[in-house]
Structures are given as structure tokens and as C-alpha cells.
Amino acid sequence: MKKIVFLFCALIAFTSCDKLDDLTKFDMEFDTSVVIESAVNVNLPFSVQSPDVETNSESEFEINDTRKDLIEDIRLKNLKLIITTPDDGDFTFLESLEVFISAEGLEDVKIASITEVPDTVGNTIDLETFDIDIKEYIKKDVFSLKLETVTDKVITEDYHIDVETVFFVDAKILGI
């Protein structure tokens, strides 16, 4: 009988910990924009840097009942590019694209890419994300994104692109 009670208590404890652990997992969204200028050379790589993105991580962590020192892991979950100008623009001018995250005092790390942009792509593109812990970048006050691209068509006007990111955050349970 004691074994059954013990197993029942252990089962409840593990189930409760899993539910509690889920409360310390949340998403953080950051948006920025970049401009790919017209007359970029075809088939030559070039980089476009986003403006600094303020993380406001302290307040975001506080809203989610955690702190910087309790963050275990942050990973890029989604990265989407959306052309806002020109109105009829699409991503068919791109051959490939890599996105790097950078922050003061840290090396640039590749976090997303697309190696072959299909000819049927529209004005929105979702990139493949990499399973890399980037908590040190998001814990900083600001970070930036660098887009390294290769084009396979000449563009005759500037392309304004919104960059939407979603980061998955996993924090320690009650500091344990």
C-alpha cells in the first residue's frame, strides 16, 4: 500500500513540475526593418544591417515572472521577411539569404537562412531557423540582425522589408 501511495505522490509531483515548467516558457517577438537598395550587383554577396533592436528584456522577463539570471535557453522560433515597398514586390530577386544576430561583445552567429529562393515566392518568405541557444544576445539591451544575400536579378527600386522574429524563452522554475 505504501508503494502505491508513494507512486501516486511521485506521479502528481512530476505532473505538477511539468505544468509549472510550462509556465516558465514563453515567446518574445521583435520586429525591425531593412532596405535593400536598387542597383545591387547580381550574383555577388552583399550585407544589409538592421537598425539596433532594443530588447527591453528586463521588462519582458518581469512580465513573464522571471529574471535574466533565470533564463536557461533562448532560441529563434520563427523569422519572416515581408516586403512593404514596392507594393508589387516579391522575393524572386533573391538567390539565397543568411541572417546573423550580433550584439556588443559577442561574435555574429547565423540564426536563419534559405539556400534557394523559389521562383514562385511572393512578398513573404519564412526562413529556416537554426537550433542555437542565443540567450546572451537577447539578454543584451540591443542586438541587430545582418542579412547576407545573393541576388539573381537586378532590382530597379529600393525594397523595404519588415523582419519579424519570434524567440522561444525557457527560464528556470522558481530559480531551481
pLDDT digits (tens, 9 = 90+) for 72-122: 999 999 999 999 999 999 999 999 999 999 999 999 999 999 999 998 999
Any domain includes 139:
yes
Any domain includes 92:
yes
User: Considering the chain, what percentage of its residues have pLDDT values greater than 70?
Assistant: 81
Any domain includes 21:
no
The residue among 111 and 63 whose pLDDT is bigger is: 111
Any domain includes 65:
yes
What CATH number did the domain enclosing 122 receive? 2.60.120
**CB-based contacts of 95: which residues, under 8 Å, 6+ apart?**
43, 116, 117, 149, 150, 151, 152
Confidence at residue 26, expressed as pLDDT on a 0 to 100 scale: 94
Tracing cell 521588462 back to the chain, one arrives at: 59
The full DSSP string for 125-160 is EEPEE-----HHHHTSSEEEEEEEEEESS--SS-EE
58, 82, 92, 144 from 54: Cα distances, Å: 11, 20, 31, 9
C-beta contacts of 85-92 below 8 A and 24+ residues apart: 85/158, 85/159, 85/160, 86/157, 86/159, 89/123, 89/159, 90/121, 90/122, 90/123, 91/117, 91/121, 91/122, 91/123, 91/125, 92/117, 92/119, 92/121, 92/153
Which tens digit of pLDDT belongs to each residue from 15-48? 544 444 455 799 999 999 999 888 666 666 777 8
Confidence at residue 131, expressed as pLDDT on a 0 to 100 scale: 95
Count: domains in the chain: 1
Any domain includes 6:
no
Q: Which domain holds residue 99?
A: 27-171
